[in-house]
Amino acid sequence: MSDRFSPDDAAATPTNADGTSTVTTPGTSSAPTTHLSRTARVRRWIHIAVAAIFGIVYAYYLWDAIRSLIELPAAYELAGLSRDDAPWSLLVLGIILPIVTFVGALIVGRGRNPLAFALILLTGLGALAVLNLGVIALGM
């Protein structure tokens, strides 16, 4: 796996079997180690920034689904239909999809370089768009 980071990122603090950390005191490490951990910190912040930028789009589709869940049953009532006639399973599915695709993309992209991470989040958005349109089609 050439695009994954060296283990210093994910497994920065190895823990013993009893749960105590073996690396506890910062500042006692040698200079190269400090440099590595700083690189790891920068990488982490780049990851968070990339996730946040794509997260805004995922969040919109989540908000859109929540709005549908609130507005569609109300529209059914206004049209003289029962709230039970609303496609509840599809409305709930619409809320689950953005969460599942975003978390899935985060898990798959964990520990990869920022470009690969962004590509995975974009692919996740594609999957979300496809599944969303599928849910809309099922509701028609």
Q: Name the site residues for other proteins (rule: CB under 8 A).
A: 1-3, 57, 60-61, 64, 112, 116, 119-120, 122-123, 125-134, 136-138, 140
Looking at the Cβ atoms of 48 and 130, the one nearer to other proteins is 130
Query: What is the smallest separation between the CB atom of 39 and other proteins, expressed in angstroms?
Result: 22
96-114 as b/e, with b when 16 or more CB fall inside 10 Å? ebbeebbeebbeebebbbe
Between 37 and 64, name the residue whose CB sits nearer to other proteins.
64
Q: What is the closest distance, in whole angstroms, from the C-beta atom of residue 75 to other proteins in the complex?
A: 13
Rounded Cα–Cα distance for residues 89 and 101 (Å): 18
Q: CA angle at residue 5 from 4 to 6, to 5 degrees?
A: 125
Q: Which is nearer to other proteins, 17 or 56 (CB)?
A: 56
Nearer to other proteins, 53 or 136 (CB): 136
Please give the angle made by the CA atoms of 129, 133 and 135, to the nearest 5 degrees. Answer: 120
**What is the chain's Cα-based Rg?**
22
The distance of closest approach from Cβ of residue 107 to other proteins in the complex, given in angstroms and rounded to an integer, is 13
Tokens in use for 53? Answer: 């930028």
Tell the smallest beta-carbon distance from residue 28 to other proteins (Å). Answer: 37
Amino acid at 3: D
